Structure 1
Amino acid sequence: MKKNVLKKFAAAALAAATVMSSMSVMAFADEAVTPSTGSVTITKYMGDAANDYEDIETHYGASHPVSESEATEKLKDVQFAYVEVGDCVQVDVEDSTNKKTKTEMLYKLTTDAAKKLKLGTADVTEKGIDYYRMATLNSAIRSHKKEAIDLVKNASGKYAASTTNDGTVTFTGLSLEKLYLFAETDASAAKKVSDGSAVAVTKVSVPFFVSLPFTDKDGKSVTDIYAYPKNSTGNVNIDKEIESVGTTTINGKQANANIGDEITYKVTYSVPVPENGLTALKIVDTMDKGLTFTNEASNITVEDDKVGTTTTGKKLDYTTDYTVSLNEAKNEVTIDFASYLDSLQPNSTEEFTITYKVKLNENAVLEKTGNTNKVQLKYTNKGEEEKTISPDPGKDTKVFTYGIDLLKKGEGTDTVLKNVKFKLTDENGAAINVEKTSEGYYTRILTTSATNPSNIVTTDDNGKIYIRGLKPGTYQLKETETNAGYVLLKEPVKIEIAEDSTIPGKATATVGDKKVTMQADQKNSGSDTAEVPLTVVNSKGFDLPATGGRGIALFTIAGIAIVAAAGSLLFMRKRSK
């Protein structure tokens, strides 16, 4: 009996122990496990200086959308980095006024960090150690933002990564009770997440400190922080158009011109000026060999369309505010604004307009390949690599010009006629002056300063006249001299060159009332409708009986000879009788 009771009691005690043991394990499992490290996730947004872009919005324990409605565009390829700069320390601070002691969480910085952030007198000094409150540290990085960024950027022990395609970057494994300084270290490659387009950053976000763990709004200790810094951005672009040819207004990308015409180009560009300024700003225009730029003040005008924060323009001085250089080997013009950089407003977008004049010269390419010049904006933000911006592809400016290729032949033969002269005029008979080049062709000229201006063109030893540099229009060639035995043309040869509206630079031609197929430029390949081919044939004169002059003399001599012969016969007959 007793044995059964003891057995039952032992079984009950074992069961109770088992239950209590299970309850103990379950309670332990419910206790929160304190993490040993923390993390910082950064989501990068666009912003602007006018909307407190420097106020970094922070949330703890979970990600959260930013509250500013204007900050909707995320940025990728923006580099952030952090470096450990100190420790978070609990310090017992004695109040010298009432001799009471209070306990604070303060920050002890490394000597290098305190020096580079230009920290002055410490908030608290205990046992020879300087401690700072977070308000003091935040004030320091705002007052010495560049130094704070450089501290992170140049640190040997930094950890760096860039925002990804969703605009975020996460740093993990952050030790607790340490003090870290985070900074945006490179925004030069910033792009919009939405479409991948480049963004010109004028002002990077302010650096910020992180010390973990932190307390959220509900009083809970958290080790994961989510930060939403924003950038101030500006616009960068460059565009170019042909403003005029001679006195004709164009305001477009393409134009026709005669060799010798003066062409005015207009370049408009905007450049973002970061908070630390620019160290270089240039406009570089590389021209085809058919364009000539003369480097003198009368050929160029530069205007700053937006001076600082105002919209008032300012005409810049040719030598004081900018310099112009010409590399003749490359036919490259450089406009350098080095002396004007200090006049640019930091954290702004500066806008400029440049106009300059060039001439179409005898090396011009005929027809649709055109004569181009490609412009580039080159600028360098302080502490960064040079950036180069070009107009959108396919938006180069082009100047087109054309020519006439004439062959003079004799009737019914393959004989070419040299030294045949023609007078070149427009459709109204006004002279069009040309000049013969050392290469043997004629080029259009517009001034009397040429060595030998004339509207008379002459066939060469091959019976050719090659005229280059004519814009679309109607021309006439009037034959004034030809070879002996040939008849001059009665009427001028009428040549019309017309633009083909379907293809830029392409042209069609008519000789008289007949359509002709234009041919390639013989001097430069690549243009198949560059020249009007023209063959002019001279007819021979009639073979008429010769009268007067040498013919009469021959008849006279023959008559005298006959009379003399008859006289001799008569004299000999009389003697014989």
Structure 2
Amino acid sequence: MKLKRFLTGVLSAVMALSVCALPAAAAGGEDTTPTAPSTSTIDTGKKGSITIHKYLVDGEVNGGSSNYGEKLTKEPEAEAAKDVGFSIYQVMTAKELVAYYNGKDNTEPKASDYTPVADKKSVKTTDNKTYQRHGDEKKTNEKGEVTFNELEVGLYLVVETTKPAAVTKAVDPFLVSVPMTKVGANGKADPTQWLYDIHVYPKNSTQTGTIYLKKQGLVGGDAYNTPTGLNGVQFRLERLKEGKTVGDTDAWEIVTSKNNNNGIYTTSIVNGDNGTIKVDGLHPGTYRFTEVGYADSAAGVDKKYILDTAASYTFKIEATPDGQKVTKLDDSNSDYEIKGTTITVTNYAPDVDKQVVNRTDGKTYQEAADYAVGDKIPYRIAVTIPTNIAKLKTFCLTDTPENLDDDTRIQFYSNSDCKALITKSLVKETAGITSTNNAKGKGFKIDFDPAKLEEYAGKTIYITYEATLKKGADTTTAGNHNKVDLTYSNKIKSGNVLEDETADHNHIEDTAVVYTFQIDITKVGKDGNKETPLDGVTFKLYEQIAHQTETGEKVLSDDDAKALGFKDTNKFSYKEVATGTTEGGGKLTFTGLSNSKTATTGASRYWLVETQTKEGYNLLGAPVEAKLDIVYKTTWKEKNTFDKGVLVKHSHDANTETFKTPNDGSQTNNGTQEGTEQSAGLDRGEKVTYGILSTEIINKKGFQLPVTGGFGTLLFSGIGVLLVLAGVAVLFSMKKKNDRA
């Protein structure tokens, strides 16, 4: 029978066509008619083997030449299928196989004639013959290979009894003859050579698809901000092993490919969208993404977001007629969602914003304001709580002032106008709020209890307190900083893993600035056209304040104010600020002053009263008004630079401010005076800008009446007494003459 001779001659070619999908290679024009084998050369006592090479492909196995039962010289360019189970059944003995090859058995064997029973330990034919499984089921290794050794000569049925999760249908059962004739390079069978170690390459009908992971960061909660796509974040992709459950030990295996050998994927720009991972060629099955960290090359990446390395984002891929379906498996984890084939994972971050109250209106919060030494300065800190606050181990604020002393009487509010007071404790039971000291001032630390903050997850709370500006405060553009640092866990870890104080914390810093200024006086004496600097002239500086009915130690009564020349005593009172005497060439500086503008009138707040002058010069007849109104920026752009775990929002130094009206459209206090550039010190070329009002005050020489109690009064009094005595003497002398007469 021609079909039998064909099977006998080139059974390997039949295997290639019906089982391995590897067509026989034949040179064009050559005679490929099979040659009948010589069954006399079969060694029926020899043992053979069947090695199965299993790959997940959708189409032909590429990369090697036709094998005709031999191992390919080059491995296919396809994904190896691990843990695929195969069972073999001997359906012909050596004697039956030789008889079949010799034409004594005209029944043509077909794999479809055999049906595995339910337990897969045997197969039955249509005429109820039973064949037992040869040994146990074996599964492919990581290379997709499995070998059945020590096989007797015969015909074997190979059945895929455990199919890979990646395929929709197991490979059809197929027959393998041990041995089979060897086919030469010319495609012709060699009737004298038999292959006892057979290699087969069965393929499944597989279905693969593409999934996307979208990584986004969110500050606070949904109601406050728009999510941001985050590049440079790494995830590990794993697949659930066949027969395992999610909670099993060693249940997951890394998903690799020819373009990814470690299963680590990094978010980047995909199709113009930031924070995206694209993975091709995923077969049906159960998978999970686990966050690993930031890529080493992720320079410039916004790393303020809290990585959740304890969470797994699990999903299932199922084959459908239209492609594939991706389903979320962990409904308890609200930090990820799946729409279509896109898995969106959200990380969260806190935020902190430090501001100071505008002195002139007493209510507007801004980045900078001006105050005088001794003033109580109101501050507000806005803290945005991350949605996953309850999972954090560390969440604390540290306030570090310069030339300021903080008051630790702190209030917490749930709204920005600071009217809804939070009365419940938000801090740890022990040392929740503590005072701190630094070289330039006294600050505080608030150690929050994350569990107590859960009620405010995704929201913003507000903290208010006051600080006092200290004597010696900086009057240059450098200003007096009050910096807040928010320290928080940057990773969520499994179990009770301890944090590393340096590596596992992020910091967000923000700074509010207080400026304070000075009045520089130059005292000059004028005699005709000649001007001379006058040392030793004393001035008192008064601050104009709202009228007070009760006078304090340094507040003038209305009568005293009028006596010094202050005219508007019904509306204002006058408080003594400082006293000073000119020296060094008629120079005098009053420092640590706020601008002159007031919230109600905008009028000058400072007056200079001369209380003692140089001999020969007249005292000033009235107070001298000092209009201090230095311009400065009340806000500036956020810097938002991330360096060594610290995100700096508003960075401020001497170069941030110029005390000049800016050209960038920044909001200012509408000041009218510019700062004054001066040398920073002796023998230093550095120039700094001070907030200075410079004023020259001139005294003139002239006639001066003697003051009450002076030497002139005594002289005139003495002459008067002598004249009176002389008059009395004359009267007594005249009386005596009259008496004699």
> For the superposition of Structure 1 and Structure 2, which TM-score range results when normalised by the shorter chain?
0.5 to 0.7
Looking at structure 2, the residues matched to 314 and 335 of structure 1 have their Cα atoms a distance apart, in angstroms, of 19
Paired position in structure 1 for 2:508: 389
The alpha-carbon distance between structure 1 residues 248 and 65, as it changes in their structure 2 partners (threshold 3 A), is: closer
Higher helix share goes to which structure? 1
Paired position in structure 1 for 2:312: 206
Paired position in structure 2 for 1:463: 586
1:474-533 Cα distance to aligned partner (Å, 9 max, x none): 222122221222222223222212354845478546xxxxxxx86347879865461122
- Do the aligned residues in 1 keep the contact of 2:520 with 2:695 (CA within 8 Å)? yes
1:207-233 Cα distance to aligned partner (Å, 9 max, x none): 4489xxx98335999xxxx96433234
Looking at structure 2, the residues matched to 220 and 456 of structure 1 have their Cα atoms a distance apart, in angstroms, of 87
The alpha-carbon distance between structure 1 residues 433 and 409, as it changes in their structure 2 partners (threshold 3 A), is: farther
The alpha-carbon distance between structure 1 residues 220 and 260, as it changes in their structure 2 partners (threshold 3 A), is: closer
The alpha-carbon distance between structure 1 residues 324 and 409, as it changes in their structure 2 partners (threshold 3 A), is: same
Q: 2:676 aligns with which of 519, 524, 541?
A: 519
| TM-score of the aligned structures, taking structure 2 as reference length | 0.44
Looking at structure 2, the residues matched to 429 and 36 of structure 1 have their Cα atoms a distance apart, in angstroms, of 88
Looking at structure 2, the residues matched to 488 and 366 of structure 1 have their Cα atoms a distance apart, in angstroms, of 30
Q: CA RMSD in A?
A: 5.6
User: How many angstroms does 1:66 deviate by?
Assistant: 9.5
Secondary structure of 2:386's aligned partner? strand
Paired position in structure 2 for 1:292: 405
Paired position in structure 1 for 2:366: 252
The alpha-carbon distance between structure 1 residues 81 and 202, as it changes in their structure 2 partners (threshold 3 A), is: closer
- Do the aligned residues in 1 keep the contact of 2:399 with 2:482 (CA within 8 Å)? yes
User: How many angstroms does 1:82 deviate by?
Assistant: 4.7
Looking at structure 1, the residues matched to 80 and 342 of structure 2 have their Cα atoms a distance apart, in angstroms, of 14
Q: 2:461 aligns with which of 347, 352, 369?
A: 352
Paired position in structure 2 for 1:417: 534
Looking at structure 2, the residues matched to 330 and 263 of structure 1 have their Cα atoms a distance apart, in angstroms, of 16
Q: Which amino acid is the alignment partner of residue 258 of structure 1?
A: A
1:379-434 Cα distance to aligned partner (Å, 9 max, x none): 1133472112245xxxx433222211112233356754333222323458989969
Secondary structure of 1:411's aligned partner? strand
User: How many angstroms does 1:72 deviate by?
Assistant: 10
The alpha-carbon distance between structure 1 residues 20 and 382, as it changes in their structure 2 partners (threshold 3 A), is: same
The alpha-carbon distance between structure 1 residues 271 and 534, as it changes in their structure 2 partners (threshold 3 A), is: same
The alpha-carbon distance between structure 1 residues 455 and 548, as it changes in their structure 2 partners (threshold 3 A), is: closer
Number of residue equivalences: 405
- Identity level (%): 21
Q: Does residue 337 in structure 1 map to residue 443 in structure 2?
A: no
| TM-score of the aligned structures, taking structure 1 as reference length | 0.55
Q: Which amino acid is the alignment partner of residue 411 of structure 1?
A: K
Looking at structure 2, the residues matched to 230 and 432 of structure 1 have their Cα atoms a distance apart, in angstroms, of 68
Q: Does residue 493 in structure 1 map to residue 628 in structure 2?
A: no
Secondary structure of 1:487's aligned partner? coil
Looking at structure 1, the residues matched to 470 and 714 of structure 2 have their Cα atoms a distance apart, in angstroms, of 54
Q: Does residue 217 in structure 1 map to residue 364 in structure 2?
A: no
Paired position in structure 2 for 1:449: none
Looking at structure 2, the residues matched to 399 and 362 of structure 1 have their Cα atoms a distance apart, in angstroms, of 13
Q: Does residue 76 in structure 1 map to residue 199 in structure 2?
A: no
Report matched runs for 1:165-564 at 5 Å. 165-166=269-270, 167-169=275-277, 182-186=288-292, 200=305, 206-208=312-314, 216-218=319-321, 228-243=342-357, 245=359, 248-274=362-388, 277-289=391-403, 291-294=404-407, 296=408, 298=409, 300-303=410-413, 313-316=422-425, 320=429, 322-329=432-439, 331=441, 333-338=443-448, 340-345=449-454, 348-349=457-458, 351-366=460-475, 368-380=477-489, 381-383=491-493, 385-391=504-510, 396-412=511-527, 415-426=532-543, 455-460=578-583, 462-473=585-596, 474=604, 475-500=606-631, 502-503=661-662, 504=668, 507-508=671-672, 519-520=676-677, 528=689, 530-542=691-703
Looking at structure 2, the residues matched to 169 and 183 of structure 1 have their Cα atoms a distance apart, in angstroms, of 11
- Do the aligned residues in 1 keep the contact of 2:608 with 2:625 (CA within 8 Å)? yes
Q: Which amino acid is the alignment partner of residue 386 of structure 1?
A: H
Looking at structure 2, the residues matched to 538 and 275 of structure 1 have their Cα atoms a distance apart, in angstroms, of 68
1:55-114 Cα distance to aligned partner (Å, 9 max, x none): xxxx951326899xx99986532312256886x4xxxxxxxxxxxxxxxxx3xxxxxxxx
User: How many angstroms does 1:315 deviate by?
Assistant: 4.3
Looking at structure 2, the residues matched to 260 and 506 of structure 1 have their Cα atoms a distance apart, in angstroms, of 24
1:435-468 Cα distance to aligned partner (Å, 9 max, x none): xxxxxxxxxxxxxxxxxx7654332464332101
Paired position in structure 1 for 2:208: 61
Looking at structure 2, the residues matched to 312 and 288 of structure 1 have their Cα atoms a distance apart, in angstroms, of 28
1:327-382 Cα distance to aligned partner (Å, 9 max, x none): 322647452425x1233439943532111211122222225443232323221133
- Do the aligned residues in 2 keep the contact of 1:76 with 1:162 (CA within 8 Å)? yes
Looking at structure 2, the residues matched to 246 and 148 of structure 1 have their Cα atoms a distance apart, in angstroms, of 67
Paired position in structure 1 for 2:268: 164
- Do the aligned residues in 1 keep the contact of 2:411 with 2:421 (CA within 8 Å)? no
Which structure exhibits the higher relative contact order, with contacts defined as CA atoms closer than 8 Å and separated by 6 or more residues?
1
The alpha-carbon distance between structure 1 residues 527 and 270, as it changes in their structure 2 partners (threshold 3 A), is: same
Q: Does residue 38 in structure 1 map to residue 79 in structure 2?
A: yes
Q: Which amino acid is the alignment partner of residue 620 of structure 2?
A: L
